[in-house]
Amino acid sequence: MGPLLRLTIMMSRLVRNPPGRRKATVMLVALALAIGLVVVEKMGAWPESWKVDRAPVMRMR
């Protein structure tokens, strides 16, 4: 199942059966933190010591 389809199914469930106020608040805070981290990373304001270098992938032949 693709990520867009999974997101669509989750959103339709939320519309049909909305969560309680506390759960909705937690979901919105988590979403805001995720968006904030993406913005900080894209702006280049991420500290150099926090960046992760990708390890090369060892392929077997």
Which pLDDT does position 58 carry in this prediction? 79
Distance CA 45, CA 51 (A): 11
Taking the alpha carbons at both ends of the chain, their separation in whole angstroms is: 30
What is the pLDDT, as a whole number, of residue 28?
93
Ranges of H-type helices in 1-61: 3-16, 21-43
Q: In the chain, what are the domain boundaries?
A: 3-37
CA angle (9, 14, 15) in 5-degree steps: 100
How far does Cα 15 stand from its chain's mean position?
20
pTM confidence score:
0.63
The one-digit pLDDT tens for each residue of the chain (61 residues) are: 898 999 899 999 999 999 999 999 999 999 999 999 889 888 888 777 777 777 777 787 7
**Residue 22: both structure tokens together:** 């506390």
pLDDT at 16: 96
What is the pLDDT at residue 47? 79
